[in-house]
Structure 1
Amino acid sequence: MPFKGTIEEQTLNSKELNEQVPLLVYYPPSFTTLKKYPVLIAQDGPDYFQLGRLASTADELIQSQDIEPLVIIGIAHQRGEDRHEKYHPNGSKHAAYLRFMSKELPPYINQEFNTFLLGSGMCLIGDSLGGYISLVCGLTFPRTFGQLILQSPFIDPKVLDLLYSFSGYELLKLYHAVGTKEDDFESPSGVKDFLTPNRQLAREFASKRFDYRYEEFEGNHLWSDWQKNLVPALKFIYSK
């Protein structure tokens, strides 16, 4: 029989966002409610499941015993402007989304799943703006989200100011990666440099003493490259 987990759709009613938030939930192979599992929470959830092959990658790594079994929760949005309004620091729903992440999602997870209640039991993963919002959540709520996977995160002065004032590094475990060709990524709004600010971020993190790994992969600001980068990221966080 194929060694695969299962995926189901759930919905969380958010008062902070005033909407129904769709969730994709991955249960690992041989899942049982009698066992506690770490939880990986993915921004851009449908993209991580479909374009990033997050669930199938987890299946493979669990089967090979490279990582421990985990539950994955992918948060969906309405794409386009909705993503920008929630993830971007200047977005109209940004503050409400942070309240959703800190006040509504963790209690729902702890109620619905047999999870570890400490921050080390919840990891956030995100790419680009999804990486930005994951980093902001980790720096703002480290006792809730104690593990982070940042793939080519958007970096701006606001998150750097948050970083400079942060003092809870002993609460964090963080994997951080960016592509070597991301210094001239051609986005719909023009050419952008993700590599330089991420190297600056890496230097700041490297000067602190905590569980941190930074890697640069051969590639650009693309799902095809982030997908391949998931293997070392998941191994770093969930290695048995």
Structure 2
Amino acid sequence: MDLEICFKNTLSKRILRLTRFICRHRGVHYLDEESMPRRMEHSVETVGFKFLQPAPEQTHLAGNIRLHRQFFSRYLEFERSIIVYLPPSYKDNPYKRYPVLYMHDGNNVFDPRTSFAGVSWEVNDTVEKLVTQNKLEEIIVVGIYNTPARLYEYTWTPMTLDNEMMQGGHGKKYARFMVQELKQFIDKEYRTLADRQNTAVMGSSLGGLINFYLGRHYSDIFGKIAIMSPSFWWGNGIAYKHAQNYPRDLRIWMDIGVYECGSHQPKANDYVIRQTRMMREALLQNGYEENVNFRYFEDPHGHHNEYSWSKRVHRPLLFFFGKEQQQKPFSA
């Protein structure tokens, strides 16, 4: 059966609305009995643009962090901050160049003060720990702040449901911003290894969805694609239409949490897991090899939040930049 048709056959309007709400409005964290931040549903008016926090005047984070404010794009409506983590040896080794990891929702990547609900991915801490343990190559990490146009920028097609036009559809412009403006700036400003084999992109939710687009259309730029908790439901499953002719020369990480929609939504959780498994099967049928150039992981404790992504971000980091990843298949 065609994957796009299969997707639509499993689609429940109630489940779609729930997953759409979670990915669109991102909810609010609270601590459950295990003291883990989770998301609870709130009205649109309550949530608003809570995830949009201004860049602080100074950063107090582990590692060498640089902040570029009001980065302008001729393709996008809003300016945004760009936050850059530099590896420990960057200052002392002026001739060394480094691989680069680009991350969407950059305000959530390093700093709890700018992160959604005050919980960050702590990528700088994780990278420094893995480098110290001699498990990870030193890398540059570029966090791209989101804007009020997040839904537009992270989706390449408008969303419709019951003849109702939803938001979205500016992902092509966002991709051009990344490739033609941001990457060129980073490669000029910092000592990067600019080739595709040393350039990765990582994102979650709609950030994972736009990475699927970047991998399909810019595989000559981004050789490593991390798709975490992806919103493959967007556009009525249009991503499945492109899975069977997806470029085969990428290194892809894909994952999903068992509790993406909350611990009390078993049907919705089953739905998002099934849709991610469908994409996994499509890519494997297209020629990708598990543990070679493709890695899939289901987080048994994973929710749709920054806390969960922070607890497993080491996995794609090691798959992409681990010191042993080219010598033997990656093992989680």
- The separation in 2 between residues aligned to 1:117 and 1:231, in whole angstroms, is 22
Displacement after TM superposition at 1:6 (Å) = 1.0
Instruction: For residue 46 of structure 1, give the secondary structure of its aligned residue in structure 2.
Output: helix
The answer to whether structure 1 residue 196 and structure 2 residue 274 are counterparts is yes
Unpaired segments ≥5 residues, structure 2 = 1-61, 112-119, 159-167, 324-332
Query: Which of 274, 283, 291 matches 1:205?
Result: 283
Alignment partner, residue 85 of structure 2: 26
Query: Which of 309, 315, 326 matches 1:232?
Result: 315
Question: Quick check: which one's strand share is greater?
Answer: 1
What do the CA deviations read for 1:75-134 (whole angstroms, capped 9, x no partner)? 0022xx421121133215333212212221221122112222321111000000011111
Q: Which amino acid aligns with 1:59?
A: E
Matches within 5 A, 1:1-240: 4-11=62-69, 12-31=71-90, 32-50=93-111, 51-78=120-147, 81-88=148-155, 89-90=157-158, 91-156=168-233, 157-166=237-246, 168-170=247-249, 172-182=250-260, 184-185=261-262, 193-207=271-285, 208-210=287-289, 211-218=293-300, 219-240=302-323
Displacement after TM superposition at 1:194 (Å) = 2.2
What do the CA deviations read for 1:25-81 (whole angstroms, capped 9, x no partner)? 000112144111000000001112231111111111111111000000000022xx4
Q: In the alignment, is the contact (CA less than 8 A) between 2:137 and 2:322 conserved in 1?
A: yes
- The separation in 2 between residues aligned to 1:141 and 1:117, in whole angstroms, is 14
- Larger mean Cα displacement after TM superposition, 205-214 or 37-46: 205-214
Instruction: For residue 173 of structure 2, give the secondary structure of its aligned residue in structure 1.
Output: helix
Q: In the alignment, is the contact (CA less than 8 A) between 1:181 and 1:195 conserved in 2?
A: no
Q: In the alignment, is the contact (CA less than 8 A) between 1:5 and 1:30 conserved in 2?
A: no
Q: Percent identity?
A: 26
Q: In the alignment, is the contact (CA less than 8 A) between 1:120 and 1:145 conserved in 2?
A: yes
Q: In the alignment, is the contact (CA less than 8 A) between 2:258 and 2:303 conserved in 1?
A: yes
- The separation in 2 between residues aligned to 1:115 and 1:104, in whole angstroms, is 15
- The separation in 2 between residues aligned to 1:40 and 1:102, in whole angstroms, is 13
Q: Which amino acid aligns with 2:141?
A: I
TM-score normalized by structure 2?
0.65
Displacement after TM superposition at 1:164 (Å) = 2.3
Instruction: For residue 180 of structure 1, give the secondary structure of its aligned residue in structure 2.
Output: strand
Q: In the alignment, is the contact (CA less than 8 A) between 1:33 and 1:113 conserved in 2?
A: no
What do the CA deviations read for 1:10-37 (whole angstroms, capped 9, x no partner)? 1432111144331000001121441110
TM-score normalized by structure 1?
0.88
- The separation in 1 between residues aligned to 2:79 and 2:304, in whole angstroms, is 30
- What value does the CA root-mean-square deviation take over the aligned residues? 2.0
Count of aligned pairs: 229
Extract structure 1 runs of 4+ deviating beyond 4 A: none
Displacement after TM superposition at 1:196 (Å) = 1.5
Larger Rg computed on CA atoms:
2
Instruction: For residue 243 of structure 2, give the secondary structure of its aligned residue in structure 1.
Output: helix
- The separation in 2 between residues aligned to 1:47 and 1:195, in whole angstroms, is 24
Q: Which amino acid aligns with 2:173?
A: A
Q: In the alignment, is the contact (CA less than 8 A) between 1:180 and 1:220 conserved in 2?
A: yes
Unpaired segments ≥5 residues, structure 1 = none
Instruction: For residue 109 of structure 2, give the secondary structure of its aligned residue in structure 1.
Output: helix
Instruction: For residue 255 of structure 2, give the secondary structure of its aligned residue in structure 1.
Output: strand
Q: In the alignment, is the contact (CA less than 8 A) between 2:136 and 2:321 conserved in 1?
A: yes
Instruction: For residue 175 of structure 1, give the secondary structure of its aligned residue in structure 2.
Output: strand
